[in-house]
Structure 1
Amino acid sequence: MMRKSTGGVAPGVWPVAWTTLVGGLGVLFATTVVAVAVEPLAGILDVPLSTIQWISTGYLLALAVVVPIVPWAQQRLGGRHLWVTGLTLFLVASVLAAVAWDAPSLIASRMLQGAAGGVLMPLMTTLVMQAAAGKGLARVMSVVSVPAVLGPILGPVLGGLVLDALDWHWLFLVTAPFALAGIPLALRYLPKDEPTRSAPLDGVGFATMAVGLVAVLLGLSNASKDGGFVHPDVLVPLAGGVVLIAGFAAWTLRRRSDPLVDLRLLRHRPLSSSTTLLFLSGFALYGAMLLIPLYFQQLRGMTPLAAGLLLIPQGVGSLLSRSPAARLAETIGARWVVLVGFVVVAIGTLPFLGATESTDLVLVSAFLLVRGIGLGAVTVPLMALAFEGLARDEVPHASVISRIGQQLGGSFGTAVLAVVLQTGITTAATPAAGFHVAFWWATGFTVLAVVLSLVLPAGGRTPEPGDNDRDARSDAGNDARTSGAAKTSTTATTRAEAEVLVD
């Protein structure tokens, strides 16, 4: 069973965590390393920006399609087998992208890479959270979520360095070592679990959920076109996607067994409240990851590499605050840690509300460090809270629900702020004033998250009536398929895509 997070960490969890971290870093770097490469690749491959941006858009859409089927695939194949399969597919796709001979072949390889990422990212969380068995969840999550911090910060820097020193093909080979190292590590350290069920895939659920997610994300990626959210290229797929996702929810809630994603878990307050706040943290992280680099590049005339380097203090701040935030969350509960974290994020954004072409970069870097501290304090407790009190077989579904919430938040945040920025730049007296409007919007989303933080459980989850029965059923099922594994056993739109939208 998996109850409220308790003191200490389960034996054997750290080898699982560090093993999956290797593969997770590869996926996140693959997502963000092309952030500075879209425009150069358009020239190299002699295609328009609207075509080459699909190396990012196609990657993210393929990732979104695959995510909902991961719980079912884990049941059919077992966690370790599915992880190794995902890493192998990721390695093959990375090599194919590196040897691509034109834009269509590169886009196709990137979509295959995204599909592999769609397997690995939720499965990473699932394997580690199952290994944690309800103990020290926040501390374990502070390690598991490192890729989500390092990817957006270091990916563009790595991409810029590769473009400066090497051929563009190396952009896609630099992620291959993560898979090459991750496969033998997985065979050595991941528990050898067996498939648990042979239930057929819910085809109706998969079709409605996958197509709905793709439609929503595709609509949002067009949001900076003239007309914004009322442009047909935005409104039609967005509305259609929402209808399909609603249809998926209705279909799933009527099923009595083997749902693709068990939405009934949203009745569980820690999961529903943390997913809502993760949605808004996507606004705060990815929305601002659109604005801040564009401020450096468009308003101050810096190169993409220089802009990426200036974002490093934010990543450092997030890394510094993760472990203290995890321990505080386990001591006093997630609510106050997350609330204060969002306040710190808002404070770290203050200089940008009035920043101009001549604002002191030392001041900006200092506040980015503060902002990163706040982001670390927000994401770790929220991601851990989603798994409080869940049975082992519920963890894969919670991983998918929280992952989709954060991904949609990042996409919505990027789209909304792209529209606001574009409108502000064209209507404000100066370009700087347009950025000020957009940063005020970003700060407003963060303040809203501060208020909504009050709905989080104050000090961890109190067991509810029926939990003992649910855990007993889960334990009985696990005992029936006893293995050593069971006993020892858990972006979003990239900055380049956002830049293309605004440009």
Structure 2
Amino acid sequence: MTQPPDIQATGSDPASDKLDGAVFRVAGVVVLGAIMSILDITVVTVALPTFQLEFGTSYAVAAWTMTGYTLALATVIPLTGWAADRFGTKRLYLAALTFFVLGSALCSLAWNIETLIAFRVIQGIGGGMLMPLGMTIMTHAAGPQRVGRLMAVLGVPMLLGPIGGPILGGWLIESLSWHWIFLINVPIGAVALIAAFVILPADDPQPSESFDFLGMLLASPGLALFLYGVSTIPEAGTALTPKVLVPALIGVVLLGLFVRHALRTEHPLIDLHLFRNRALTFAVLTMVLFAIAFFGAGLLLPSYLQQVRGESALWAGLLIAPQGLGAMLSMPIAGRIVDRSGPGRVVLVGLVLITLGTVYFTQLEADSSYPILLGSLFVMGLGMGCTMMPVMTAALQTLNHQQVARGSTLMNIVNQTAGSIGTALMSVVLTGLIKNEPLAGPAIAAQFDPRVAAELPPAAVREGLDQAAQAFGHTYVVALVLIVLTFVPAFFLPRTKPKALEGAEAQVLVH
């Protein structure tokens, strides 16, 4: 009797409904890499003022430590699907981890802001491949009928990263130095490299299609230029400036040319033919709207807690923790339900919970009750656990073995792009609303600068903080509208066990 390739590779039967030790070991390796990659995106946010002081530079230049990392991610993600098919997922995962750990070590040794930005790009080359590769490895290891539960495991660092990053970054900078926000990745990365080498199944890459050079020349710079333009909007304060419009429009043109090319070629760099899969199409539409709302709104509460309530970065991170706790509770349950009955119903329940939680934040005040705020965050977290990874599962669950690498690459591109759009959108809306309130800006400044506080009467500070809180609440209305719109594509997600799964089980039975 011949075993299917996945059984030979992992020692686990992908048709089994149980998650065994072999699958959990693979998941552990992937989660280690995901934690490093995602935490490193958020941990640097609290270090920007330190970079300004340490290297004597402006905030705009220091922000390139984040922008450079993001653009490196955007450049390599389109290549990941082809490279995984060509070289094998294990070899590529080891290479990605090596780039990430090397970049981390170099960042800790940076002697000026220019070298730090350059080393962050090296780090981003590795970080950009870790998530799509991790999703591919876990989908292959689990098989379609268990991928929902495994995606729930991978979803924990995705949801906790925005919460844990600022807490960890603030603690490391205050207790040690800024170098340690990068140095901490070296021992963790070394463990991840050893574990990946020992645990991940050996590669047996199939003969790959020819590399789509034209697609690479269109897709990677197109995506990077578009994201650069979008990420510049908060700094510029408007989208109608050459600094934003020129790179964004060039990026859109290049991406448009890539779409035209991809639909006409047999083996494109990003496989747009996957949109023939109805479940993947609605999953992408759901992910676009959800990621814009989720990642965009993600920056609002930490800013509210620090700027309006006067909390430190560390306390702001701790106060957001109930959202992560809610997600951790609901994710395993959602994963089991998705494997048994499809993701459709679970995602709709999650969106209802997120909607209920978000309604409270549209009514923020300068002295909003912390117990109610934390309770609303917990409800939102329960909804997040039922939404993000089940949507990813909906996209990947019906793909065959050969399509999984391309599908996970596509979903990560969508996630990255939508997240950048959401962050820029909410930043511009919030900045505009605060500028329209005459006392909001000075009142926020008074929270951090004793000289400003001394010049403003206490009554003016209170009124200004009320105006600022109202601006945050109105910005949450935009997020709420986007979440409500997400119900439309989510309604069409599969609500039954996918047909592709039944075929996979039948194949294993024949063997």
TM score, norm. by length of structure 1: 0.89
1:94-173 correspondence runs (5 A): 94-173=104-183
- 2:490 corresponds in structure 1 to 453
Distance in 1 between residues matched to 2:137 and 2:284, nearest whole Å: 19
Q: Aligned-pair distance for 1:199?
A: 4.1
Letter in structure 1 aligned against 2:489: L
**2:301 aligns to what SS in structure 1?**
helix
What RMSD, in angstroms, separates the aligned Cα atoms of the two structures? 2.2
Whole-angstrom CA distance in 2 between matches of 1:141 and 1:338: 14
From 223, 229, 249, the counterpart of 1:213: 223
Q: 1:8-47, aligned counterparts within 5 Å? A: 8-9=17-18, 12-47=22-57
Asked if 1:292 is matched to 2:301, the reply is: yes
CA distance in 2: counterparts of 1:175 and 1:275, whole angstroms: 32
1:308 alignment partner in structure 2: 317
Whole-angstrom CA distance in 2 between matches of 1:174 and 1:190: 24
Q: Which moved more, 1:333-342 or 1:190-199?
A: 190-199
Q: Secondary structure at the match of 2:263?
A: helix
Contact kept, 8 Å, 1:335 with 1:454, in 2: the verdict is yes
What is the letter of the counterpart of residue 253 of structure 1? L
Give the equivalent residue in structure 1 for 2:481: 444
Q: Deviations over 1:246-286 (max 9, x none)?
A: 21111111112x32121101110111111211122212321
**TM alignment of 1:284-363, pairs within 5 A:** 284-363=293-372
Matches within 5 A, 1:36-435: 36-225=46-235, 228-256=238-266, 258-428=267-437, 430-435=467-472
Check 1:427–1:7 CA distance in 2 against 1; reply closer, same or farther (3 A cut): farther
Deviation (angstroms), 1:378: 0.3
Structure with higher Rg: it is: 2
Kindly provide the amino acid, as one letter, of the partner of residue 215 in structure 2.
Answer: G
Report the CA distance shift for 1:198/1:325 in structure 2 as closer, same or farther (over 3 A): closer
Q: Conserved in 1, the CA contact under 8 Å of 2:283 and 2:493? A: yes
Q: Which residue in 1 is equivalent to 2:9?
A: none
- Look up the match of 2:442: none
> Matched residues in 2 for 1:457 and 1:36: separation?
40
Q: CA contact under 8 A between 1:90 and 1:112: conserved in structure 2?
A: yes
**Where does structure 2 lack aligned partners over 5 or more consecutive residues?**
7-13, 439-466
Residues in 1 aligned to 2:143 and 2:300: alpha-carbon distance in whole angstroms: 39
Q: Could you list the per-position Cα deviations for residues 278-302 of structure 1 after superposition, in whole angstroms to 9, with x for gaps in the alignment? A: 1222123211111111111111121
**Counterparts of 1:222 and 1:112, CA distance in 2:** 21
Instruction: Measure how far apart 1:242 and its partner are.
Output: 1.7
The 1:209/1:139 distance shift into structure 2, 3 A limit, reads same
**SS of corresponding position for 2:233:** coil
In 1, Cα distance between equivalents of 2:471 and 2:222: 33
- In structure 2, the CA distance between the partners of 1:73 and 1:424, relative to structure 1 (3 Å rule), is same
Q: TM-score when scaled to structure 2? A: 0.87
Separation in structure 2 between the aligned mates of residue 417 and residue 452 of structure 1, nearest angstrom:
22
Per the TM alignment, residue 42 of structure 1 is displaced from its structure 2 partner at its CA by 0.7
Cα offset for 1:10? 6.4
1:7: how far off?
6.9
Following superposition, the deviation at residue 9 of structure 1 comes to: 4.0
Structure 1 stretches of 5 or more lacking a match?
Answer: 476-486, 488-503
Identity among equivalent positions (%) equals 36
Q: Relative CO higher for 1 or 2, CA cutoff 8 Å, sep ≥ 6?
A: 1
Q: Evaluate the alpha carbon distance shift between residue 199 and residue 361 of structure 1 in structure 2; reply closer, same or farther with a 3 A threshold.
A: same
In structure 1, what is the Cα distance between the partners aligned to 2:256 and 2:31?
33
SS of equivalent residue, structure 2 residue 299: helix
Whether the 8 Å CA contact 1:283–1:414 is kept in 2: the answer is: yes
Count of aligned residue pairs for this structure pair: 467
Aligned equivalents of 1:147 and 1:242: distance in 2?
31
**Greater Cα offset, 349-358 or 362-371:** 349-358
Query: Does 322-331 or 147-156 show the bigger shift?
Result: 322-331
